[in-house]
Amino acid sequence: MEKNNKKGKILSGIRPTGPCHIGHYEAILKNWVRLQYEYETTYEIADLHALTDRTETGDLNENIYEVLIDLLAVGIDPEVSTIFVQSHLPQHSELHLLLSMITPVPWLERCPTYKEKKQDIQSGEGMGYGLLGYPVLMATDILIHKGEYVPVGEDQLPHLELTREIVRRFNHLYDDVFVEPQAILTETPKILGVDNRKMSKSYGNAIFLKDTDDDIRAKIMIMITDPRRAYRKDPGHPEECNVYSFHLLYNSERTGEIAEACRNAGIGCRECKAELADKVIEVFSEYKERRRYFEGNRELLDDIIREGDKKAEAVASDTLLRVKRAMKLV
C-alpha cells in the first residue's frame, strides 16, 4: 500500500511483561492490526517501560520475543508496520533525559497512573526515580518517532495530554521542533480474568493467546459466574456474569438466546462455558497456526527486529539532532 494514501503517522507501544493475553488483544492488538492499513504505523516493544515498576529482569529478553511473536501472529505485518525494540535505540534514553529537564515534577505527580502504581510498588527501597518519569519516557517515544496520532485507551489519556504540554513547553522555550500528537481514542473493553479481577499475568487469572486449546477450556470452565445462581435451577443474570461478557465478544450471534436461557434456567453454567470455550478456541486457532511458524524461526524474528530498529532509528536520530540544535547543545 502506498504510504502517501495514509492518514498520518501513528506511534504506539506495548510493554513486554510476558506473553499477551486476551485483555491485550482486545484493548491494543486488535486496534493495531486494523490501524496499520489506514495510517503509517510504528509499534514499539517498550522494554524500558517494563523496568519502571520492577527490578526483576530475568525474563525480559525472552518476553520481548514472546510479544514480538504475538504481534506477528495476530497479524501485524512487518512489511506494513515498523516494529522495533525501545532499548535498542539509545536515542530514547537521550531524549528522555533532555525532556526530563523541562518537565515540572508536579505535572508528573498528578498523573493518575503514577498515584496508583506508587501504592502497590513492591520494592522495599521505595519507588524508583524512573517510575515518576514514566510519562516522560512515553512522551519521548511519541515525539522522537514523530507520532501524530496515538491510539490510547481512556487510562492512557492523561499521558497523552502531558505529552502535549511537554511539546508546548519545549517549543516555547527553544524552537518549534515538535508537533502536538492527537489521541485516537480506542474502545478498550475492560477484560476480567477468570476470577473476575482485571485480567493480568500477575494475578494468574489470564487467558493467553498462546494457551493450548486444553488450557483455554480448563480456564474457562473455572470462570466465576453469576454469584446469585447457586443451583442449576436458579435463574441467572447474564449481565452480572463474566462468562456472558465473553460470549458478547466471541459468540455474538448467540448472545440473545444465551441470555434468555440463562434467565429462565434453561441452560446450565457448565454447558454455557463449554460453548464459550469452543468459540474462543475457534477464534484463536488461526493465530496459533501463525504462532507456530514464527516460534520456530528465531532468525526470522531477529531479522524483523533488525529491520524495524533500523527504520525507527533513522527517524529517532533525526529528531534528536533537531532537539539538540534547538537547545544549542550542538
Residues assigned a catalytic role: 117, 198, 201
99 contact partners, CB below 8 Å, separation of at least 6: 136, 139, 140, 143, 166, 170
How far is 9 from 80, CA to CA, in rounded Å? 12
The three cell numbers locating residue 89: 535505540
Q: Which does 236 bind (CB under 5 to 8 A by kind): ligand TRP, ligand SF4, none?
A: ligand SF4
What nine digits make up the cell of 188?
Answer: 478498550
Q: Which stretch binds ligand TRP (CB under 6 A): 8-16, 242-250, 264-272, 299-307?
A: 8-16
Q: Is 141 in the site for ligand TRP (CB under 6 A)?
A: yes
Among 53, 66, 70, 226, binds ligand SF4 (CB under 6 A): 226
With beta carbons less than 8 A apart as the criterion, state whether 272 and 241 touch. no
| Dist CA 61 CA 128 (whole Å) | 21
Which one, of 274, 271, 269, 289, lies nearest residue 217 by Cα?
Answer: 274
**Smaller CB distance to ligand SF4: residue 54 or 254?**
254
225 binds, among ligand SF4, ligand TRP, none (CB under 5 to 8 A by kind): ligand SF4
Out of 138, 143, 183, 194, which residue is the one contacting ligand TRP (CB under 6 A)?
138
**Bridge partners (DSSP) listed for residue 83:** 43
Q: Indicate the residue among 209 and 216 with the shorter CB distance to ligand TRP.
A: 209
CB 11 within 8 A of CB 145: yes
Which of 73, 209, 269, 304 contacts ligand SF4 by CB under 6 A?
Answer: 269
DSSP-derived secondary structure letter, 39: S
Using rule CB under 6 A, residue 133 touches ligand TRP:
no
List contacts with ligand TRP (CB under 6 A). 11-15, 44, 46, 49, 138, 141-142, 150
List contacts with ligand SF4 (CB under 6 A). 225-226, 229, 236, 238, 241, 243-244, 262, 267, 269, 272-273
